[in-house]
Amino acid sequence: MLTATDIHLSLGGRPVLNGVDFTARPGQITAIVGPNGSGKTTLLRALTGELRPRGAITLDGQDCARLPPAEMAARRAVLPQAGAVAFPFTLREVVQMGLSAGLSAARPEVVGQALRAVDLAAHADRLFQELSGGEQARGHLARALAQVWEPVVAGVPRWLFLDEPVASLDIGHQLQVMALMADYAARGGGVIAVMHDLNLTAMFAAQITLLNRGRVEAAGPPGAVLADRPLSRAYGTALRVNVTPPPGHVFVLPQTAAAV
Amino acid sequence: MVAIAHREAPPRRPGRPAPGLVMAGLALLLAVAAGVGLFQGAAETSVRAALWGEGASLRDHVIVWDIRLPRLVLGALVGAALAVSGALMQGLFRNPLADPGLVGVGAGAGLGAVLAIVLGGLLPPAVLAVAGVWTVPLAAFAGGWITTLVLYRVATRGGRTSMATMLLAGIAIAALAGALTGVMIYLADDRQLRDLTFWGLGSLAGANWAKVQAGAPLMLAVLLAAPVLARGLNGLALGEAAAHHMGIPVERVKSATILLVAAATGAAVAVSGGIGFVGIVVPHLLRLVMGPDHRGLLPAAALLGAAVLILADTLARILVAPAELPIGIVTAVLGAPVFLWILLRRRALLEV
Amino acid sequence: MRGPVVRGAAVLRGLALAVGLASVTVTATAAASEPASGPASESAMRVLSIGGAVTEIVYALGAGDRLVGRDTTSVFPPQAAALPDVGYIRRLSPEGVLSLGPELILAEEGAGPAEAVEAIEAASTPFVIIPDDPSPAGVLRKIDAVAAALDMPEAGAALSARVEAEIAAARAAVTAGQSRGQSEGIGPRRAIFLLSTAGGRLMAAGSDSSAERMLELAGARNALTGFSGYKQVSDEALIAAAPEVVVMMAGDSTPTPEALFAMPALAASPAAASRALVVMDGLALLGFGPRIGQAIRDLNAALYPAEG
């Protein structure tokens, strides 16, 4: 279980997080949502140890600030928002790097399995730089996945921290990747994801934290957080849930896709 | 926009040769280069007789044992050190055009050498007696180190080294060193000016066993230590954050890389002057052949750098014999067209 | 730092001329064409000569046929240019030097680098350093040292005596001209030596330069002081110096008097009024070799054309 208590953080002298409490349990997807600039990514970066905030963060009972990088790498993998890769590495080599950072490093077949999981097996030997934006995003996901391939090791859960994992994907791959996250959680792993798409969040997340200007606007199950009042307050515009638009408007919802 | 293409299999990357194969090929190339370097020279020499001590003349013995061999060893070490330093810097800055000059070691070493050449005579005679012919190499090494440490201090805040700050401060320091060098050029007499020019072009002409003994420990230590950083530099290719997430001690990798580069480049520049292009062309060529994985790239760069510098030095020795060219001219004349060719090829690759 | 050093290279080309790389007008002096007068030494038949003045002395001693190589600055007499060139005096390649199989190496002071000299000496090839002092006495010492190393004492004494006499004669003429001038109330002429005028930037000789010594030997006074060696000087300093005559070395880049005196720094000078530009062979003028007596005489004649 990941617990963050009273997190304060300033970037460049500007306060970004003002006393955020956050909890995530293994076995389910925990989503962080909120408008642009509300501190979602900063919160995730604080949780991964990339930034050093004021406040306490513990991962399965251990103080994250005290865990050495290699120990942290064995317990959680991170998918950052955009990651340009320098030098002509192949996709396979990038995923291999993730694998070698985790506990499954001795199992080379994991590289292929991770690539299959994100539907990139055919591209393994292409240069990472030559992949399209969406392919690169899935490639990084495969890398993160390979790093914590087994969701539970010796009774201790592994964690995936994902910053907008489906932002640059088409709706088909969005659903595929969300299903992948759900499967990881179902097998006992922890998944924390910064999300933009509220529909996908509603479909897959068990817990949602809604941020607004560096504070928690609402936190809890989707039914409680994705409600008219908190959403309208956070996004600064009148929003209504579960209301179909007037006749004549076309809308496509991921919820209507055949089971994935 | 993404999903359209993914089902049809794209052309596979043309297979890269196995790292073992590349390494064996490079080792062979180095052996051939060493053979050529040992057997070719301005003087007709019975190398075999001198090597096995079968009644060679004193002149041949001196040419082989005191001139060609130390020069060969020093050339191999300097070439390996420059190529590995280049690969390390490119990995650190995530840029294939980075070179050790970016951490100020070139500018600092140059300034140190220029100061020693022009103002060396002002040192107390007692110091000169001890330092002797080592005044210039020592000053170059000290200059390189001091500059690097200053830059490192400037760029490091709260335990984190900002590569961008380091780059900008490096430009400022290089400008300052350039200006001071200009002052020294103004003060220099004509002979010192000649020395300055030749120093800037680099040469292995002064190679002897004493220089090998002085430079080898540092350069060898760096060559042996560099592969330890390979995994860290691979991770850095994905960005500092990603590397951190993969358990790489990013700050330690960065500072270790900077210090190794300063040590290797400082030592190489001290014994041979400024030799350009090896540090950029060699790693770049290898990345095209074997890919960018630093675990293979760093040892391969050492082998190819050594071979290239030995061959360049052999050319420098025989092209205008009995005189010789500064080796920096040879590496630039050979390296610049190769580099342009690489750039053109690369552009074609990107534009397809 | 590479930038400034490379920029310095342009300056160096000019300076290299000053130390004797100048293209040479082909006028073999009496000394060079004279047959060997001393007994040929049995020792050291293969000699490598490093330094323009040293090579000239070897030829003047009649030992030119013993030479197997020379350095870049050795361009006089013309037959020296046909010898293998071992490179610049400060950047000798030990193997290149040994490849010529010399039995004796004569090198002007300052030859190097030290590591190369060490390696050459390790092959037990004698490496004799010839002292280099830009003065008439220094020339005689050079001749003595070269003759001693070549084991040609008699030829050395003869050459030394001849050069000494030529210097004395030249100096006598200079002094005579000076006292004549003094009686007319004219002091020594104010001259400057310009090494290069490339790009409108004037590189001139200051105090303690070999050019200044030659100007003084030839009875002129260096109008530029306050710096030593060869430096780029500002236009205003040149205007303040007000030279009566400008001395330069012969070469492809030597400007015409029209072009030179059109430069703002010199346009208002007394030298411009009389178009007083003296152009002389570089190695003869600044080499401080056996042709020094003739060089003093020539320069003096060019400086004081009326009295000539």
State residue A20 phi and psi, 5-degree precision: -90, 130
Does pLDDT of C42 surpass 70? no
Domain ranges of chain C: 36-162, 170-303
Interface of B with C in 192-211 (CB under 8 A): 193-200, 203, 205-208, 211
Domains with residue ranges and CATH for chain A = 2-84+157-256 (3.40.50.300)
A201 close to A226: Cβ distance less than 8 angstroms:
yes
CA-based R_g, chain B, Å: 22
* pLDDT at site B15: 67
pLDDT-derived band at C17 (thresholds 50, 70, 90) equals: very low
Of A109, A239, A257, A260, nearest to A177 by C-alpha is A260
Q: Is the pLDDT of residue C35 over 90?
A: no
User: In the predicted model, what is the mean pLDDT of chain A?
Assistant: 93
pLDDT reading at C13 higher than 60: no
Confidence grade of residue A120 (pLDDT, cut at 50, 70, 90): very high
pLDDT of residue C70: 95
Q: Average the pLDDT over B6-22 and give the result.
A: 62
Which band of pLDDT confidence, cut at 50, 70 and 90, is reported for residue B203?
A: confident
Whether chain B has a CB inside 8 Å of the CB on C107: the answer is no
Whether A114 has a pLDDT exceeding 90, the answer reads yes
Distance in angstroms (rounded) separating the CA atoms of residues C287 and B237: 60
CA-based angle B89:B92:B98, to the nearest 5? 40
Distance CA(C290)–CA(C295), nearest Å, equals: 10
Judged against a pLDDT cut of 60, whether residue C26 lies above it is answered with no
pLDDT at B125 over 60: yes
With 80 as the cut, is the pLDDT of residue A260 above it?
no
- Residues A202 and B229: their CA atoms lie apart, in Å, by 44
Q: Are C176 and C301 in contact (CB under 8 A)?
A: no
pLDDT-based confidence at residue B153 (cuts at 50, 70, 90): confident
pLDDT, residue C74, reads 92
Please tell me the least confidently modeled range out of A6-15, A38-47, B198-207, C23-32.
Answer: C23-32
C-alpha to C-alpha distances, B312 to B284, B300, B334, nearest whole angstrom: 18, 18, 8
Q: Once rounded to an integer, what is the mean pLDDT over residues C109-119?
A: 87
Size of interface B-C (CB pairs under 8 A): 149
Rounded Cα distance between C254 and C243, Å, is 18
B288: pLDDT confidence band, cut at 50, 70 and 90?
Answer: confident
Q: Identify the pLDDT of residue C144.
A: 95
| Position B283, amino acid | P
pLDDT of amino acid A10: 93
Find chain C residues with C-beta within 8 A of B67's C-beta. 94-95, 98, 119
Question: Given pLDDT bands bounded at 50, 70 and 90, which one contains residue B132?
Answer: low
- Average pLDDT rounded to a whole number, residues B221-244: 94
- C268 close to B (CB below 8 A): no
Q: What is the pLDDT of residues B258-274, one digit of tens each?
A: 889 988 988 888 888 88
- Rounded to two decimals, the pTM is 0.83
pLDDT over 90, % of chain B? 32
* Residue of B147 and B106 predicted with greater confidence: B147
Percent of chain A with pLDDT over 70: 99
Residues of B in contact with A93 (CB under 8 A): 291, 293
Give the mean model confidence (pLDDT) for residues B72-82.
96
Mean pLDDT along residues B137-152: 86
CATH of C170-303, one of 3.20.20.70, 1.10.287.1080, 3.40.50.1980, 3.40.50.2300: 3.40.50.1980
Residues C218-225, mean pLDDT to the nearest whole number: 93
The pLDDT of residue C10 = 39
Q: What is the mean pLDDT of residues B85-100?
A: 88
pLDDT at residue number C260: 92
pLDDT at residue A141, as a whole number:
96
Cβ contacts (< 8 Å) between C9 and chain B: which residues?
197
For residues A69-96, average pLDDT? 91
Q: Which residues of A touch B249 (CB under 8 A)?
A: 68-70
Residue B347 above 70 pLDDT?
Answer: no
Q: Beta strand pairing status for C220-222 and C245-249?
A: unpaired
Q: Is A125 or B11 the better-scoring residue by pLDDT? A: A125
Fold agreement (C36-162, C170-303): yes
First to last CA, chain A: 28
In this model, does residue C40 exceed pLDDT 70?
Answer: no
User: What was the pLDDT predicted at C21?
Assistant: 34
The answer on pLDDT for C2 being more than 50 is no
**Which chains, if any, share at least 3 CB pairs under 8 A with chain A?**
B
Instruction: Specify the CATH architecture of the domain C36-162.
Output: 3-Layer(aba) Sandwich (3.40)
Percentage, residues of chain C above pLDDT 90? 54
Q: How far is C70 from chain B (nearest CA, A)?
A: 10
CATH value of B63-351 in 3.30.479.30, 1.10.3470.10, 1.10.290.10, 1.20.970.10:
1.10.3470.10
pLDDT at C15: 42
Partners of C196 in the beta sheet? C203
Question: Could you tell me the end-to-end alpha-carbon distance of chain B, in angstroms, rounded to an integer?
Answer: 19
Question: SS3 for C264?
Answer: helix
pLDDT tens digits, C255-287 = 899 999 998 899 999 999 999 999 999 889 998
- pLDDT tens per residue, range B158-182: 777 888 888 888 888 888 888 888 8
Q: pLDDT band at residue C135, thresholds of 50, 70 and 90?
A: very high
CA of B287 vs chain A CAs: smallest distance (Å): 8
Segment A18-46 mean pLDDT:
95
- Number of other CB atoms surrounding residue A42 within 10 Å: 23
> Residue C36: pLDDT above 80?
no
Q: Is the confidence at residue C7, as pLDDT, over 70?
A: no
Average pLDDT rounded to a whole number, residues A132-159: 95
**In the predicted model, what is the mean pLDDT of residues B213-217?**
88
pLDDT digits (tens, 9 = 90+) for C63-88: 999 999 999 989 989 999 999 999 98
Q: At what angle are helices A109-117 and A133-147 packed, to 10 degrees? A: 130
Rounded Cα distance, B38 and C77, in Å? 37
For chain B, the domains span 63-351
pLDDT reported for residue B2: 37
Chain C CB within 8 Å of residue B114 CB: yes
Measure in Å the smallest separation between the Cα of C92 and chain B Cα atoms.
Answer: 7
